[in-house]
Amino acid sequence: MSNAPRSAAPGAPSEADAPLACDIFCAVIDNFGDIGVCWRLARQLAHEHGWEVRLFVDDLHAFERLCPALDASRATQTVEGVRVEHWHEPDHAGETLRIADVVIEAFACELPSVYVAAMAERTPTPVWLNLEYLSAEDWVADFHLRPSPHPRYALLKHFFFPGLGTGTGGVLKERDLDAARAAFEASPEARAAWWQRATGGPPPGPEATVISLFAYENPAIDALLEQWRDSPTPIVLLVPQGRISGALARFFGMAAFGAGARGERGSLTAHGLAFTEQRGYDALLWVSDLNFVRGEDSFVRAQWAARPFVWHIYPQADDAHLPKLDAALEHYARTLDAAPRAALERFWHAWNGNAGHAAGAPEGSTAGNTEGNTEGNAATAPDGLNYGEVNWPDLARHLPALKARAHGWAAELALTGDLAGNLAEFAKTQLK
Ligand code: TRH
């Protein structure tokens, strides 16, 4: 086995010393979050830190959806300066066994055993990190960067915990992200071009509330669509093709609600959008006044978009996700006044099937009156969660306060630093 000599990546930025080699291993469990996070991290380490990155991914088809430049039929290829290897079987570790300076196993996926054995033989010993899922819970800061010795080899693995507060690994944020958003927001041409491309028409007028909807199947959606239909002001809904599209099709009496679909009822106009390349997703957040996001990576992007958002957290067994939802609210809603804070909590809880924990009744409501509900309205879903009635007017009246907070929160979150930068710093201290 050999430790390949390091060589500078073409066009590698700033760092004076030889670029570090980094291997990232990603097993796609489901959806797009696992590869979404790994791909973003891989690009950042390559482009912003000049590292030579190899990304091992077991499901190239999921990857291709957010990176159309990828050829899912190829075992190995270079995309945007990142070497992508199809991790086609658990013990596969590339054509030649080459151990990187920094080895990242994403979300506790198991590294190839031959690779681990070779890590133990390498001098110097590589930095081994397990990149965990994001959680806003307090314990995360205590566990971040804790070492764990390997039971058989003289190897140490560190747990790298993303988080929303100080003492955690932070969340991913590209160096040019704020500038890209500012440039987009300052350009009516860019905005108009986006609307033309995405919907085939011009942007809506300022009286409309633009909402993007990226979510899992959700029993609360039917009630929400009805409330948007009955809204006193226009609602323009942008729905990337995905797991919630079926509900839109049902609502508009269509066979499907894919890319190019358009539905109109009352005040609600909805557009079906194509699933875009990952970078393109940010622009959807930037054209919207409110974003419904899910999982992990879109949840983070919505925070950087500095707009109000509603999070559909990834549901876990035994409702393990519900404390995580509240922990995120604790950070995000911290400085809000009582009324907008309670409205936000009520809405997030109802959207996540945690209606029993709703923060008091909304102003002017007849709380508990769920009589005559249509299907999906205040329903108990097959997952056993309690999807209470979402209350759009209750949330909508607080959108200006939520918008101000979204700006403040983005600035606060930035203080924790970018995850890729934090990870690179830590790795370098370990390699000294
Ligand atoms: O897809 P997700 O639900 O992902 C996950 C997975 O379920 C994963 O197993 C779980 O661990 C994690 O959530 C918590 O949601 P997420 O994380 O937001 O990932 C979606 C990715 O898709 C994100 O990188 C943005 C990207 N995307 C596009 O590239 N184009 C698009 O049009 C859209 C809507 C999203």
pTM: 0.91
Same domain? 69 vs 195: no
- Distance CA(348)–CA(325), nearest Å, equals 8
Q: Hey, how many other C-beta atoms are within 10 angstroms of the C-beta on 412?
A: 17
Using a 6 Å cutoff on CB, does residue 217 contact ligand 1? Answer: no
- Which atom of ligand 1 sits closest to the CA of residue 240? 34
Strand pairing report for 76-79 and 82-86: antiparallel
Mutate to test the pocket of ligand 1, among 26, 29, 32 (most ligand atoms within 8 A of CB): 32
Burial (Cβ within 10 Å: 0-12, 13-18, ≥19) of residue 63: buried
Do residues 206 and 164 both lie within one domain?
no
Distance 1 CA to ligand 1 centre (A): 36
The answer on 142 and 227 residing in a single domain is no
- Let me know if residue 7 belongs to a domain: no
User: Are 302 and 211 members of one domain?
Assistant: yes
Given the CA of residue 242, which atom of ligand 1 is nearest to it? 34
| Any domain includes 163 | yes
Q: What is the CATH number of the domain that holds 218?
A: 3.40.50.2000
Q: What pLDDT, on the 0 to 100 scale, is given for residue 389?
A: 85
User: Residue 36: how many CB atoms within 10 A of its CB?
Assistant: 26
Q: Find the 183 Cα to ligand 1 centroid distance in Å.
A: 25
Per-residue model confidence (pLDDT) at position 308: 98
How would you write 230-249 as a 3-class SS string? CCCCCEEEEEECCCCHHHHH
Count other C-beta atoms under 10 Å from residue 365's C-beta.
14
**Residue range 366-396, pLDDT digits in tens:** 332 222 222 233 344 556 677 778 999 999 9
| One domain, residues 420 and 409 | no
Q: Both 157 and 226 in a single domain?
A: no
Separation of CA 293 and ligand 1 centre (Å):
9
Are residues 309 and 381 located together in one domain of the fold?
A: yes
Give the ranges where 112-176 is alpha helix by DSSP (H).
113-121, 139-143
Residue 127 lies in a domain: yes
243 shares a domain with 139: no
Name the residues annotated as catalytic. 34, 296
Query: Are 296 and 371 in the same domain?
Result: yes
> With a 6 A CB cut-off, is 298 part of the ligand 1 pocket?
yes
Residue nearest to atom 4 of ligand 1 (CA): 33
Q: Which of 28, 241, 294, 296 to probe ligand 1 with, by most ligand atoms within 8 A of CB?
A: 296
CA distance 256 to 357: 34
318 belongs to a structural domain: yes
Task: Encode pLDDT of 306-322 as tens digits.
Answer: 999 999 999 998 889 99
Given a contact cutoff of 8 angstroms between Cβ atoms, the answer to whether 265 and 252 are in contact is: yes
Q: Whose CA is nearest to atom 10 of ligand 1?
A: 33
Q: Looking at residue 60, which CATH number applies to its domain?
A: 3.40.50
Q: Give the residue carrying structure tokens 């080459």.
A: 98
Residue 78 lies in a domain: yes
Query: 8 in a domain, yes or no?
Result: no
- Residue nearest atom 32 of ligand 1, based on CA coordinates: 275
Q: Is the CB of 208 within 6 Å of ligand 1?
A: no
Q: Which of 26, 297, 300, 321 to mutate to test the pocket of ligand 1 (most atoms within 8 A of CB)?
A: 297
Ligand 1: atom nearest CA of 37 is 24
What residues of the chain score a pLDDT lower than 50? 1-15, 358, 360-380
Residue 330 belongs to domain spanning: 177-414
Same domain, 154 and 198: no
Ligand 1 midpoint to CA 20 (Å)? 28
Residue 310 lies in a domain: yes
Cα distance between residue 351 and residue 420, in whole Å: 31
Are 182 and 166 within one domain? no
Ligand 1 centroid–CA 280 distance in Å is 13
Ligand 1: distance of its center to the CA of 294 in Å? 7
Q: Same domain, yes or no, for 165 and 216?
A: no
**Is 1 among the domain residues?**
no
Specify the number of domains making up the chain.
Answer: 2
